[in-house]
Structure 1
């Protein structure tokens, strides 16, 4: 009975990790576009008085983005709340000089390449095994084959051959989905460490 419960937990963990890897791409893309645009706009307009509040707002938003990232991995993000009322320019100075804000921005910008890699791995490592597993369903409708080089091509044209490909797909699913678990767990540890 315990093994069934453990296998169910492991399956749920795998699905959760795959979902996390897909989500990471979209959130990191949003963060990257928002932060690069906001920082460029704030720095570009800093000659005028308008640029500094924009830059301060972008830096403050980085805290909320880190809270979202921490929530995705099951952590709580705690940042200090200031109770004292500051003047407008003192609040801007506080945001611009906060090392926590700049650390958040650096992490969020660096998470974009990780998000792209995780998305590519998640797509590849889920679709290839699923396609191989489903070969017996469509091998008669669509030519299914493997081309190793320009001279050797193997085509699946019988049910036993399709079932062998399904077995290979199941083996790949086991190996690649465990690899995805390790990658997702590593990415979650990085977020927790920040």
Structure 2
């Protein structure tokens, strides 16, 4: 624990990250030589044999081999660089096409050719990175520790006293205390600079691995959209279940009881008109309660005030139901798309519910404005703070909903408050 109190420049030479990245650069040279030699040989042989039938399978095999090299490099980056890069999109031929379909898909795969490009480009870079890293680390530590091993140079007795073994006119010796101290100081400089140089070299390797050996941007975007679609479907299903539960446990149950009461009142109408009148009056009160529940449920699905008058009026209505005074400021020249407007409304509504239930605040503020092609929402309160989306609260679900439409939710809530939640949504007219 004491090492964390030292400055980063002093800690760096002894940190595990430095030696992991140094090991990555050392191992990179022999692997790069292997990748370069085999990939160039296979691709060149395949290209040269394209005039015959053998060129296609040789070239496809070379591409498959390079993809295997990429798997090794991703694993090596994951262990030594702590860089987790996903596998590129797999090669899929037609199920009924056989080997020829697979070879055609391999030749048309952009990811396969990126692996070949990595094998070719990584070789000169690995030579450079290896040379620089070994030179800095080797010279740095050897010069820094020179006072510990300079005794290996033997001395002999001569007419002028003890001298270093050898001819001083043809060799360079550092034997005086001043020279030894200067040598160690220069070595210390190398030792302190070396880790940062290694991190810079490793950063280039990170870029090469993530840019050439990972999935393409299109494939990554497709994966994100598939995940977002799953979130949207799950959210919609949860909302439908909530609406069904509210209808079944609330308005539906009340209407069933109302129908039974009216039936009893009908039977007593001839026998006891006064009791029947009381029952009808009670049924009338039940109708009012049922209508209020249905209005609240409809407001939870999509409030009419939002459709008719926009965010300003709808958010003011939400703020009026909050348990603390809320100041609402909406600065929008035009209205966004209904879908974005609805998400903005429900985002602010849920955040104000959190203020009412958990914040213990005295006041809250809601601001809505547009910046470029983004709709910005901000809800602030002067409560106790401590809101954490990572704790599995409603904020986490809200983050997932916003992410499904390329939105962002940022929470700033230190212990003791205040809390500021900023949401960003794409502006769609």
1:33 to 2:37 alignment? yes
Q: In proportion to residue count, which structure has more strand?
A: 2
Q: Unpaired segments of 5 or more residues in structure 1?
A: 144-152
Aligned to 2:174: 156
8 A Cα contact 2:36 2:123, kept in partner: yes
Correspondence list, 1:1-194, <5 A: 1=1, 3=4, 7=11, 11-74=15-78, 75=84, 76-80=86-90, 82=92, 84-142=95-153, 155-194=173-212
8 A Cα contact 1:122 1:180, kept in partner: yes
Q: CA distance change for structure 1 residues 9 and 172 in 2, over 3 Å: closer, same or farther?
A: closer
Q: Unpaired segments of 5 or more residues in structure 2?
A: 79-83, 155-170, 213-429
Q: TM-score, normalised by structure 2?
A: 0.40
Q: In proportion to residue count, which structure has more helix?
A: 1
8 A Cα contact 1:28 1:112, kept in partner: yes
Query: Please, what is the CA RMSD of the aligned residues?
Result: 2.7
Aligned to 1:147: none
Paired residues in the alignment total 186
Partners in 2 of 1:40 and 1:154 — Cα distance? 50
Higher relative contact order (CA 8 A, sep 6+): 1
8 A Cα contact 1:125 1:177, kept in partner: no
Partners in 1 of 2:103 and 2:60 — Cα distance? 6
Once the two structures are TM-superposed, the CA of residue 178 in structure 1 deviates from its matched residue by 1.7
SS at match of 1:157: coil
Once the two structures are TM-superposed, the CA of residue 35 in structure 1 deviates from its matched residue by 0.7
Q: CA distance change for structure 1 residues 190 and 39 in 2, over 3 Å: closer, same or farther?
A: closer
Q: TM-score, normalised by structure 1?
A: 0.82
Q: Deviations over 1:114-157 (max 9, x none)?
A: 111111111111111122123223434439xxxxxxxxx97411
Partners in 1 of 2:77 and 2:59 — Cα distance? 28
Rg: which structure is higher? 2
